[in-house]
Chains A and B, each alone.
Chain A
Amino acid sequence: MTVYKMNKDKQKIMRGIAAAPGIAIGHCIVWESGRPEVRGRLIKAGQVSTEQRRFEQALLKAERELNNQAKALLSRREKTAAKIFQTQILMVRDQEIVRQVKDQIARRLFNAAFAYQSIVSKLENSLASASDSYLRDRAGDIAAVARFVLKHLSKARARIVTARLRNAIVLAPMLAPAEVIKLRNSGVVGFACDTGGVTSHVAILAKSWGIPAVMGMKNGSQKINANESGILDGALGLLIVKPSKRTLDQYQQLVQTQRRETEELKVLRRLPAKTRDGHYIRLVANIDVAADANYAIQSGAAGIGLFRTEYLLGGAHLPTEEEQFEAYKAVALAFNPQPVTLRTFDVGGDKLQPGEKAVDPNPFMGLRAVRACLAVPDFFKTQLRAMLRASTSGKIRIMIPMIAGQKEIEQAKQIVEDAKTELRKQKKAFDPRVELGIMVEIPAAALISEQLAQLVDFFSIGTNDLTQFTLAADRGNPRISHLYEPFHPAVLKLIQMTIGTAQHQGIECSVCGEMAGDPLAIPLLIGMGINELSVSPAVLPKVKLLIRSLRFSETRSLAEEILQKVDPKDIRQCLTNWCHKTVPDFGYRIR
């Protein structure tokens, strides 16, 4: 008797970018965003006006649907997503397209769908081959609009029956925001896309709903058969197809645990980040895009410690003052009256000047951040103006990265003053008490922190870059990345100096690098005198729990002991032992 292994029952694991945490257990569906089949046919002369009217009805329906989507997003303050729809609405109504389609219906007796399809294809092609990159990007918009309109025009029924979407994990090459929302409303529990990354709209929407999204799966959507069972793990970036019983059991347990944690989180959100002996820590969040403000609020953040503004530079054109103002204002409002710290652009100089090519032989230490901004003072002033204007909606703080000396601070402050003068002349309101601070990430800044503290309102220690610069070790270089050690006594000494200066001069000092979220580092930092930590919303609740299990007095003794040591391995071991003994539940690494 032969016994065969049922190979087709083996579980398959596919990997992608972990874009939104969460676990979904359901069946997989591949979503085809392709255009519904459009067949051309000739209509009778007497049907021309009916066909033209049918076309107009379809446009109206498409326009109404897009308007509703835009409204729904605006009511959730998702302005960026809403703007996409607004551009598309204008495309639906485009006079020239309407005119030409009606003309083709009348003169060539084409049916509406075929006429529309042929005209839009031509437009899409000329956009896609334009020399202007902004126009090339718009090809996708007109294609999306066309799908919408054609859906209403052609008699083809929707490809997938709605019932099968309930509890489905949807796989697709990419999904437009409208599709994501519709799928979610039909009961979809997770998204996996072949392209895209953590800042894709799919990811941002999924995060705000608390469901998993995995992006960049390459051509995962091609490798799946419909209706296969699956588990989507958004935190690890995995899709497990046809999970084995054991895997399924493990994940089901995990889901139970996470449900419990979500309930606990609701309670934890309202509790303060206070040590057992009554020492308060301000626990705030790092965000990469304005849309993550809600996610930060859900996690229990008491403010934003680092709003990385670089994502605004990712578009086809440099962001205008208005576009920036909208983003900063949204976050300020969401957190009002808690503080929101905006960091000015930290990118290479080439990204601030369209058409420039990156020429820095060593971009890491090159013309980036404040240096690049000071080289384009008008654009720098635009960002500062937008930040200042946003200060009427909440408590904004402005933070300048990569400061190495006094002169840069003075130059930056001058531009801030210029911005304020302009705004006053233009009668545009701002809060004159907006705080201005710097990131301490270049060793020079830590070493002369006494001088610098007199010029600014706060420090924020960027431990990632500080460690790299201090040890001359590039984390990204696998040959020496093992030399990157934040617990190196030299790094700790610079941190200590900075904290000491801040305390001495009476200004705030926080930590916003990865160390702030590292359970091994947190007790040490608190013991050294840090009372504000800025971490990602994903780990914030765990950090709060850790803080609440510490005793400040004990962390102070720990810091004293550690700062006497000279061997980084010794320091790490000592911290590990202390944590295992004092706060055993947090011995794992928070990512």
Chain B
Amino acid sequence: MTEQAVVVANRLGIHARPAAMLVQKASKFKSEIRLIKGELEVNAKSIMGVMMLAAERGSKLLIRAFGEDEALAVAELLKVFESKFNED
């Protein structure tokens, strides 16, 4: 299991476009990937799940991956967050 914490930095939080970007990126990996916000845990490959997280700017999330490409998956998803979804 590989795990990494991340803070949502873009101004408008995880709305449609960022959610889609996360889901599209996560779906490329074989590992099971979860996003955790407090008590809520969702499947990062599910657009419904990621949207329901309603992660606004400043929220702290945990990226957790299980599987053969887990380290790469976490690293790549981290990059997506850090690029602020190409928004700002």
Contact = CB atoms under 8 A, between A and B. Distances in A.
A367 to B, nearest CB: 21
A97 B86 contact: no
Interface stretch (B42-50, B61-69, B72-80): B42-50
Contacts of A317: 12, 15
Given A90-B20, A95-B43, A322-B86, A134 B15 contact: yes
B54 A316 contact: no
Contacts of B46: 94-97
B28 interface: no
A127 B48 CA distance: 9
A142 interface: yes
Interface footprint category on A? 20 to 34
Interface string B26-50: 0100000000000000110111110
A392 interface: no
A262 to B, nearest CB: 39
Given A90-B47, A94-B48, A317-B12, A135 B86 contact: no
Given A90-B23, A322-B87, A97 B48 contact: yes
A316 B15 contact: yes
Which interface residue of A96, A126, A142, A316 has the most chain B CB atoms within 10 A? A96
Contacts of B49: 94, 96
Interface in A45-95: 86-87, 90-91, 93-95
Contacts of B51: 135, 138
Interface string A311-351: 00000111011100000000000000000000000000000
B52 A135 contact: yes
B54 A130 contact: yes
Contacts of A87: 16, 20, 47
A376 to B, nearest CB: 12
Interface footprint category on B? 20 to 34
Nearest to A354: B12
A123 B48 contact: yes
A95 B87 contact: no
B87 A320 contact: yes
Contact of B20 (A86, A134, A138): A86
B54 A321 contact: no
Contacts of A321: 87-88
Q: Which secondary structure dominates chain A's binding surface?
A: helix
Contacts of A97: 46, 48
Given A90-B20, A322-B86, A322-B87, A96 B43 contact: yes
B57 to A, nearest CB: 11
B88 to A, nearest CB: 8
A21 B57 CA distance: 44
B34 to A, nearest CB: 11
Interface string A254-275: 0000000000000000000000
Contacts of A126: 52
A138 B47 CA distance: 11
A120 to B, nearest CB: 9
A126 B54 CA distance: 13
A316 B54 CA distance: 13
Nearest to A321: B87
A318 B88 CA distance: 13
A139 to B, nearest CB: 11
A94 B17 CA distance: 15
Contacts of B12: 317-318, 320
A59 to B, nearest CB: 14
A91 B15 contact: no
A135 B54 contact: yes
Which interface residue of A95, A135, A138 has the most chain B CB atoms within 10 A? A95
A138 B86 CA distance: 23
A404 B50 CA distance: 46
Contacts of B16: 87
6 contacts: A127-B52, A135-B52, A135-B54, A317-B12, A318-B12, A322-B86
Interface of B: 12, 15-17, 20, 23-24, 27, 42-43, 45-49, 51-52, 54, 86-88
Given A94-B47, A95-B46, A321-B87, 9 more contacts: A86-B20, A87-B47, A90-B20, A95-B45, A130-B54, A132-B54, A317-B12, A317-B15, A321-B88
